[in-house]
Structure formats: C-alpha cells, structure tokens
Amino acid sequence: MKIPNNTEAVVDINKIMDYLLSDTHDLGKHKAAFFKSFGFDKSSPAFFEEALKTHAIVREVVNKNDSPFGKKYQIECDIETPDERNPCIVSVWIIENDSEVPRLITAYPAK
C-alpha cells in the first residue's frame, strides 16, 4: 500500500532548514549529522524536499495508525541522496483529519 494522494505530498521547507538539517535543534542535530553525511545541506534544500517527496511516492507503507489529528503513515528504505549512497531511512507522514494531503512529520535513519 502507498500513502494516499502521495503525489500531492507536502514537505515544509522549515522542517528541513530548522529541524532535519539544523546543527542546533535538540532533536534535529543528530538527524542533521546523518543527512549531511550523505550530501544534503542547507544550500540546496529543494533537493532534500524532492527526495523526501519521492520517498513518499515510491515506497510502501510499513505502518499506519490513527491519531487524534489524522492518519499517520510510516514508510522505509532507500532515499536518493546527493552522494548516491541512498541509505535506508524512515519517513513519517500525516493526513490530517480536515485534509487529504500527506504532510511530512519527520524523517530519520532506519535501524
């Protein structure tokens, strides 16, 4: 199963700049070190945005659950990276109760 309406997936650029690639965010700095090690950086956030959207489109849902805010979807495995090593990651998306569009919540290295 794929995320519904995955071609409409939204990634907030602030999520990338202030969280996933932030060296100072308490939780994000560890993720930033990981993603930067594969060539993602703040000088080209659009590449990271497109890689995350593509991840939502091509990968299968591995976990789905309801939350008070909507349906959450977890997908896993390879993401296209600037250095082409394409590590396995987890990305988590939500389709909020009043929406039909998936929005990125977070992404992190798969274990």
Rounded Cα gap, residues 5 and 28, in angstroms: 27
- pTM of the entire predicted model: 0.96
Along the chain (111 residues), what's the average pLDDT of each consecutive run of 10 residues? 98 98 96 98 97 98 98 97 98 98 98 88
CB-based contacts of 26, cutoff 8 Å, min separation 6: none
The two tokens of residue 79 are 């993401």
3-state secondary structure 58-97: HCCEEEEEEECCEEEEEEEEECCCCCCCCCEEEEEEEEEC
Fill in the amino acid letter for 103: R
Please tell me what DSSP assigns to residue 24: S
